[in-house]
Copies of this chain bind each other. A is one copy, B any other.
């Protein structure tokens, strides 16, 4: 990070010096752009969505009338083993997209309100 900040601070001057040789492809942006840490965090959110089966899980939970689904209802339609579904659900919970609530024998998953909109907002603020 400190490396990037330092680098970007001097980029303009460096380009100006070398311009009289051969260069002149274009004017580099003065904006430091997304930092490595910000990019890492945002990419993490998209990683959670970058799997078809996780998208289907989210879709099922979202479509559920009660707003929550138990794992049994999530395992069947996906044609995946129970450990695999559990693994995907864990990733979605860790990403802050799903809530997990255990009641008795069963575990119920529900959408975290506004979480998907928040991810959509990440795109606008790139």
Residues of A that sit less than 8 Å from B by CB: 3-4, 7-8, 11, 25-29, 31-34, 36, 39-40, 42-43, 46-47, 49-56, 58-60, 62-66, 68-70, 72-73, 76-77, 79, 105-106, 108, 116-117, 119-121, 123-124, 126
CB A55 to nearest CB in B, in angstroms, measures 5
Structural contact, B31 and A56, CB atoms closer than 8 A: no
Q: Across the interface, which residues of B come within 8 angstroms of A70, CB to CB?
A: 25-26
Residue of A26, A68, A76 with highest tally of chain B CB at under 10 A: A26
Q: Across the interface, which residues of B come within 8 angstroms of A53, CB to CB?
A: 39
Structural contact, A46 and B49, CB atoms closer than 8 A: yes
